[in-house]
Copies of this chain bind each other. A is one copy, B any other.
Amino acid sequence: MKNRNQQIRNQQARTRRSERRTDALSKERIVEAAIDILDADGENALTFRALAARLSTGSGAIYWHVADKNELLTAATDAIIGRVVTDVAADAGPDQAIRAFALGLFDAIDAHPWVGTHLFREPWQAAMLEIFEAIGGRLQALGVPEEALFNAGSALVNYILGVAGQNAANARLLPQGTDRSAALGAVAASWTELDPARYPFVHHLATKLSDHDDREQFLAGIDLILAGIGTIGRTDRGS
Chain A residues in contact with chain B, CB under 8 A? Answer: 117, 120-124, 129, 132-133, 136-137, 139-140, 149-155, 157-163, 165-166, 168-170, 172-173, 187, 191, 194, 198-202, 204-205, 208, 212, 217, 220-221, 223-232
A160 contacts which of B136, B162, B221 (Cβ < 8 Å)? B162
Give 11 new A-B contacts, CB below 8 A, not counting A123-B170, A224-B232, A225-B225.
A120-B169, A121-B172, A122-B169, A123-B173, A151-B217, A151-B224, A154-B221, A155-B221, A165-B165, A227-B228, A231-B231
A129 contacts which of B191, B225, B229 (Cβ < 8 Å)? B191
- Chain B residues with Cβ below 8 Å from A129 are 191, 194, 199, 202
Instruction: Please list 12 pairs of residues, one from A and one from B, whose beta carbons are closer than 8 Å in the complex, sorted by A's number.
Output: A120-B166, A120-B168, A121-B169, A132-B202, A137-B201, A140-B201, A151-B224, A158-B162, A162-B163, A224-B225, A224-B232, A230-B231
* Nearest Cβ on chain B to A161's Cβ, whole angstroms: 4
On whether A133 and B166 interact (CB within 8 A), knowing A155-B220, A155-B225, the answer reads: no
* Nearest Cβ on chain B to A13's Cβ, whole angstroms: 26
- Chain B residues with Cβ below 8 Å from A122 are 169, 173
A168 to B170, CA, bound (A): 20
A8 to B121, CA, bound (A): 37
A172 to B161, CA, bound (A): 17
Please give me the residue from chain B that is nearest to A201 by CB atom.
B136
CB-based contact A132/B205 at 8 Å: yes
A223 to B123, CA, bound (A): 24
- In the A-B complex, list the 5 residue pairs whose CB atoms are closest, starting with the nearest: A228-B228, A162-B162, A136-B201, A158-B162, A155-B221
Please give me the residue from chain B that is nearest to A229 by CB atom.
B224
CB-based contact A132/B201 at 8 Å: yes
A124 to B187, CA, bound (A): 8
CB-based contact B202/A133 at 8 Å: yes
- Chain B residues with Cβ below 8 Å from A173 are 122-123
Residue of A158, A170, A202 ringed by the most chain B CB atoms within 10 A: A158
A43 to B239, CA, bound (A): 51
A150 to B169, CA, bound (A): 19
* Nearest Cβ on chain B to A99's Cβ, whole angstroms: 14
